[in-house]
Amino acid sequence: MSEEKTTREYKVGTLPHLPVTVHAQYLKDLSFENPHAPHSLRAGSAEKPALNVNILLDAQKIEDPELTALYEVVMTVKAESSRGGRIDFIAEISFGAAVSLKDVPEDKHHPLLFIEVPRLMFPFVRQAMAQITQGGGYAPLYLQPVDFHAMYVSRFAEKPEAASGNA
């Protein structure tokens, strides 16, 4: 029996690409609150901290005379850690990307902006969150991978008119 080859070889320049051009990625806003430091940093508390993480996505069209499908996508991640009803820290990051969509029908912009672009941005947001929590005196907070497709379906499945309109 011959063994069937299941891997594909691609030559440089023939890899499948998203129809998205990332013009810039940038930190828009960064906030870290450590309200009870240095007491919250002291060792000895056996109580495990409670962590609450929320992710908000926003996309706005940017008017540009040369690019007809230019957008700013902003991912805001807020993490709050508390122990015994007392807040240890609050970290909030807003991270933006300026992207354009090439040869994509208007009705396909919304899912690209809320699924694919956040997938591209997430590693940078994750690293920034880890750095600021570590800089605040805590173990680095490495955000778990996020299924942006599931988030999108959950948010827009019942409201198809929202998904087909402007982002």
pLDDT in tens, 122-153: 999 999 999 999 999 999 999 999 999 999 99
Asked whether residue 14 carries a pLDDT value surpassing 90, the answer given is no
What pTM was estimated for this model as a whole? 0.81
- Quick one: average pLDDT of 152-166? 65
Instruction: Parse the chain into domains and list their residue ranges.
Output: 22-44+55-159
Q: What fold, for 22-44+55-159? A: Bacterial Protein-export protein SecB (3.10.420)
**Which sign, positive or negative, has the C-alpha torsion 10, 16, 22, 25?**
negative
For the chain, give the percent of residues with pLDDT over 70: 81
